[in-house]
Amino acid sequence: MADKHLHAASLAAQALGWVDPMTKAIVPPIHMASTYERDADNAYRSGRVYARPDNPTFDQAESTLAALEGASAALIFSSGMSAATACFLALSPGDHVVAPKVMYWALRNWLAAFATRWGLRVDFVDADRSEAIAAAVRRGETKLVWIETPANPTWGVTDIAAAARIAHAAGALLAVDSTVATPVLTRPIELGADIVMHSATKYLNGHSDIIAGALAGARQDAYWASLKTMRAQLGTILGQTEAWLLMRGMRTLFPRVAWACRSAETLAERFVAHPMVEEVLYPGSPSFAGHAIAKRQMRGGFGGMLSVRVKGGERAAIASAARVELWKRATSLGGVESLIEHRASIEGPGTPCPTDLLRLSVGVEDADDLYRDLDQALRRADNA
């Protein structure tokens, strides 16, 4: 599908218009082979050697994601963590990196523990303040600035274009965890980012049935080559069936995200006035601190993630989560089913997450049903 004027939603729905040249099937096969035959003269004219660094089942998912992100290329990984950590492992011991104080907790812990043992120097900053990023970078020393926007679980928004200018002026790359925004709402490369990371387990797949990660790169340069080598040498590849399921999920990415955005905005508006809610954290709320930046760099909605801070503190928040009937108490986000989680309990000691916070991942159920269920849970918890 070569027409560059087609909307990204059309490209996703038809997986770039792929049709099997031999069978004319409109759904790709799963290639299970682990190795490929060498030609009689010792060449590999097929372009395939071994399935660890390369598998035909990867091609469609990677090409589609690259097109959606406006990237030069994409790589899929065995998990979001393997994709994210590859970005840091591709650096050299002694390099300096800047990362947010509020971000995906598992990656923050990895940076604070393992990455420093690897020899990286890490500074954590309030990434929703551009001046804090600027103060942390060190010209000639900082090699990577990592941001996450909106940032899990309080949904702070980082100005991507400003962060890119700061990083590039210092000679560093900018990587953006865009898991929550997805390419439906934000294309960080257009705003100056060098690398875009997705926990593809979440919205890209959208059905809570695989673990996957992905990177999209603005350029196929030496750093990108290092990422490809890192994936091959560490073996952090996605299984063939999981790659097929990831592509299956991306074909419905746009309608799923659009539905979740509408419902999340409705819920945010209604819970603002709820007697048991202290505060609603959602980039789409006009009163939210990062709303102006979100409005500038997110198009078509503000995402399907929001958090509510419950009056009555930690006890009331946990009791409310215990009383839902439609929402599912589970870790993760971005699936078709709506999830609720007392996030501080998951993150444990040292978390910056408020203990009265409930994280909500809005799926594709009816918004009125979702509101009624959480409303009754909040009120029952208050009366307990």
Give the mean model confidence (pLDDT) for residues 208-222: 98
Give the model's confidence band at 1: pLDDT under 50 very low, under 70 low, under 90 confident, else very high.
Answer: low
310-319 burial string, b = 16+ CB within 10 Å, else e?
Answer: bbbeeebbbb
Q: What is the mean pLDDT of residues 32-43?
A: 85
**Residue 282: active-site member:** no
Q: Is residue 298 predicted with pLDDT exceeding 90? A: yes
> Is pLDDT at 277 greater than 70 in this prediction?
yes
* Active-site position among 36, 48, 52, 323: 52
> Which range has the worst mean pLDDT, 6-20, 43-57, 97-111, 165-179?
43-57
Q: Distance between CA 162 and CA 165 in Å, rounded?
A: 5
Residue among 177, 194, 356, 373 flagged as catalytic: 177
Any residues with CB less than 8 A from the CB of 265 and at least 6 apart, and which? 282, 284, 301, 302
Q: Can you state the angle between helices 56-69 and 240-250, rounded to 10 degrees? A: 30
> pLDDT-based confidence at 45, cuts 50/70/90?
confident
- The predicted model gives 216-228 an average pLDDT of 97
Lay out the sheet containing 339-342: strands in order across. 277-281, 305-310, 357-361, 339-342, 328-329
At 302 the pLDDT is 98
Q: Which of 202, 228, 231, 343 is catalytic?
A: 202
In this prediction, residue 242 carries a pLDDT of 97
| Residue 214 pLDDT | 98
Q: What is the pLDDT of residue 314?
A: 96
pLDDT at 154: 97
- Detail the DSSP E strand segments found in 72-228: 73-77, 96-100, 121-125, 142-148, 173-177, 195-198, 213-217
State residue 281's pLDDT score.
98
What pLDDT does residue 4 have? 65
- Say yes or no to pLDDT of 234 above 80: yes
Distance, in Å, from the CA atom of 268 to the CA atom of 325, rounded to the nearest integer, reads 19
User: In the CATH scheme, what architecture does the domain 253-383 have?
Assistant: Alpha-Beta Complex (3.90)
Active site residue 24: no
Q: Give me the residues paired with residue 303 across strands.
A: none
Integer Cα distance of 292 and 285 in angstroms: 10
Is-catalytic flag, 202?
A: yes
Q: What residues contact 287, with CB distance under 8 A and at least 6 apart?
A: none
Q: Report the pLDDT value the prediction gives residue 85, as an integer from 0 to 100.
A: 97
Q: What pLDDT is recorded for position 52?
A: 84
Kindly state the average pLDDT of the residues 34-45: 84
Percent of the chain residues past pLDDT 70, beyond the cut:
99
Mean pLDDT of the 277-288 span: 97
Positions of CATH 3.90.1150.10 in the chain: 253-383
Distance, in Å, from the CA atom of 279 to the CA atom of 27, rounded to the nearest integer, reads 45
52 is catalytic: yes
pLDDT in tens, 143-181: 999 999 999 999 999 999 999 999 999 999 999 999 999
Secondary structure of residue 151 in the 3-state scheme: strand
Delimiting residues of CATH 3.40.640.10 domain(s) in the chain: 8-250
Average pLDDT over every residue of 277-293: 97
| Mean pLDDT along residues 344-354 | 92
Contact 77/65 with Cβ under 8 angstroms? no
Pairing of strands 213-217, 277-281: unpaired
State mean pLDDT over 365-373: 98
**Backbone φ, ψ for residue 381 (5° rounding):** -65, -35
Who's near 288: CB < 8 A, 6+ residues apart? 155, 281, 282, 294
Question: If you average pLDDT over every residue of the chain, what do you get?
Answer: 95
Q: For 211-234, what is the mean pLDDT?
A: 96
Q: What is the pTM of this model?
A: 0.95
Amino acid 320: pLDDT: 98
Counting other chains too, the contacts that 369-373 makes at CB distance below 8 Å and 24 or more residues apart are 369/326, 370/263, 370/267, 370/326, 370/327, 370/338, 371/266, 371/267, 371/270, 371/271, 373/324, 373/325, 373/326, 373/327
103-139 per-position pLDDT tens digit:
999 999 999 999 989 899 999 999 999 999 999 999 9
Give me the CATH topology for the region 8-250. Answer: Aspartate Aminotransferase; domain 2 (3.40.640)
Q: What is the mean pLDDT of residues 351-357?
A: 95
